[in-house]
Structure 1
Amino acid sequence: MYLEDRTVRLQLWDTAGQERFRSLIPSYIRDSSVAVVVYDISNAKSFQNTRKWIDDVRGERGNDVIIVLVGNKTDLNDKREVTTAQGEEEAKKNGLMFIETSAKVGHNVKQLFRRIAQALPGMEGEGSRGESQGLFPRRHLQVPRS
């Protein structure tokens, strides 16, 4: 993707949240700068399960990784079981970036990847604008370098 005057290459690994992939987290996350943990806003259990995934990532990488909590399926807002405030609170409590998206209709998907790219090590200057949009706490702009 292009960010300002730079090309940023993002490589994505999707475990689909399936329990059988949890044992693979160490190999997925070992050299990663970012972990994106996604839940379905219309499924409270999927939100509750994010805690295990976040703990696994933190257990493997500590604070040397940016974690983004994403509430997906905002196109199902009429079936919402997890409020935006609940997602924001969980993210704030754990020092995570947060955003809600709809992969189906494309709502906030580009914004999600742009904010991830802006928060990467070496991109702090480009990322400062995201802070005012409430997507992540200030401290994530100063990411430890690997």
Structure 2
Amino acid sequence: MDRSLSSLPPPRRKAMLKKNMASRRTPQQEAGSSTEQTYVYKVVLLGTTAVGKSSLAFRYVKNDFRESMPTVGCSFFTQLVCLETTTMKLEIWDTAGQEKYQSVCHLYYRGANAALLVYDITQKATFARAKLWLRELEREFLHDEIVIVLVGNKTDLAAQREVPLEEAEEFAKSKSLIFMETSAKSNHRVTEVFMAVACELLKRERQKEPTHQPQPWKKSCVDLQEPSNPAKRCCRS
């Protein structure tokens, strides 16, 4: 499923944005199953125009590649991921990278559970812009509130590389980000990026669940050897 929000009538677009910003996660119990749960997570793709955000989302959801997919405002995709006894529905928001849309992009990533900061490995300026997106996310979210992945796209153009792999790895490590290089064109590690997001989201979900540890037997609060003392009773006739 994919659609361009900018093509929807204003009332419907506003309602859709409000619906997706309403909650950070939505657990649902599957019918007929006592163990399987479904969670809905919002994943946003951020980065400069033409770095391949739309191509990454399209490759992951449709397993197809389109050379040019300009996004107007925001596009929307969904994908189901099954991990262990958990089904996760990823709602993928592909934001436009043009400068004229920057002022409203915060509306799209508000309430997100994960963000992919995408840059083009052949254009140093897009890596710098990804760092600026990270600053914006750091102002919006606490560190443990959102999963952030730094994605260097277009490894199929490695001969034209401007962003060294080591530099990107070092930056991601310094900021505690997941890091991966991909190619939407050659389908290199595209699925792995989204699976890394899903696994980290599930890991954090499990950490939130209360642990049910068996409690040790406690000594009775009533000493049967102690003589009865009416003065200690809580109720008197």
Q: Which runs of 4+ in 1 moved over 3 A?
A: 141-145
TM-aligned CA distance change 1:144 to 1:82, over 3 Å: farther
Deviation at 1:15, TM superposition (A): 1.5
84, 92, 106: which one aligns with 2:173? 92
Partner of residue 20, structure 1: 100
Within 1, Cα distance between the matches of 2:176 and 2:105? 20
CA distance in 1, matches of 2:173, 2:98: 25
Q: How far did residue 143 of structure 1 move? A: 9.3
For 1:143 and 1:82, locate their aligned partners in 2 and report how far apart those are by CA, in whole Å: 36
| Aligned residue pair count | 127
The sequence identity of aligned pairs, in percent, is: 40
1:2 counterpart SS class: strand
Q: Specify every segment of 5 or more residues in structure 1 that has no aligned partner in the other structure, as ranges.
A: 125-140
- Tell me, which stretches of 5 or more residues in structure 2 are unaligned? 1-80, 209-237
The answer to whether the Cα contact below 8 Å between 1:25 and 1:56 also exists between their aligned partners in 2 is: no
Q: Contact 1:34–1:65 at 8 Å: present in 2 too?
A: yes
Larger radius of gyration: 2
TM-score by length of 1: 0.78
Who is 2:164 aligned against? 83
**TM-score scaled by structure 2?**
0.50
Q: Please point out which of 49, 56, 62 is paired with 2:142.
A: 62
Deviation of the 1:27 alpha carbon: 1.9
* Partner Cα separation in structure 1 for residue 157 and residue 206 of structure 2: 34
After superposing the two structures, state which structure 1 stretch, 54-63 or 111-120, moved more: 54-63
Aligned match for 1:4, one of 80, 84, 88? 84
Which has a greater percent of strand?
2
Task: With a CA cutoff of 8 Å and minimum separation of 6, indicate the structure with the bigger relative contact order.
Answer: 1
Whose helix proportion is higher, 1 or 2?
1
Letter matched to residue 22 of structure 1 = Q
Alpha carbon RMSD of aligned pairs, Å? Answer: 2.0
Q: Secondary structure at the match of 1:47?
A: helix
* 1:12-53 C-alpha deviation (Å, 9 max, x unpaired): 111243323322233222221101110000111111111111
